[in-house]
């Protein structure tokens, strides 16, 4: 699942096309939220690089 905030419809179009050209993505369902009553940030785990040397 991807949650994204875009500036305009052109950015949404670009994002959707980028996701659809990714490997293992066969389709997407896009929902547009016009207004939010309350928005809380979500803490994501840190991204781990696959290129990290294991010593």
CA distance 2 to 23: 15
Q: What is the pLDDT of residue 45?
A: 82
Residue 5 tokens read as 């905030």
Calpha distance 47→55 (Å, rounded): 19
Q: What integer pLDDT is reported at residue 36 of this predicted model? A: 80
Q: What is the pLDDT of residues 1-53, one digit of tens each?
A: 888 888 998 999 999 899 889 888 888 888 888 888 887 877 878 887 776 55
pTM, entire model: 0.55
- Longest Cα–Cα distance of the chain, Å, equals 49
Judge whether residue 54 has pLDDT over 60.
no
The domain segmentation of the chain, as residue ranges, is 1-25
At residue 14, the pLDDT reads 93
Pairwise CA distance, residues 31 & 6, whole Å: 13
């Amino acid at each position: 699942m991807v949650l994204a905030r875009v500036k305009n419809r052109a950015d949404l179009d670009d994002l959707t096309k980028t996701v659809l050209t990714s490997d293992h993505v066969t389709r997407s369902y896009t929902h547009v939220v016009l207004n939010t009553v309350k928005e809380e940030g979500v803490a994501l785990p840190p991204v781990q690089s696959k290129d990290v040397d294991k010593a």
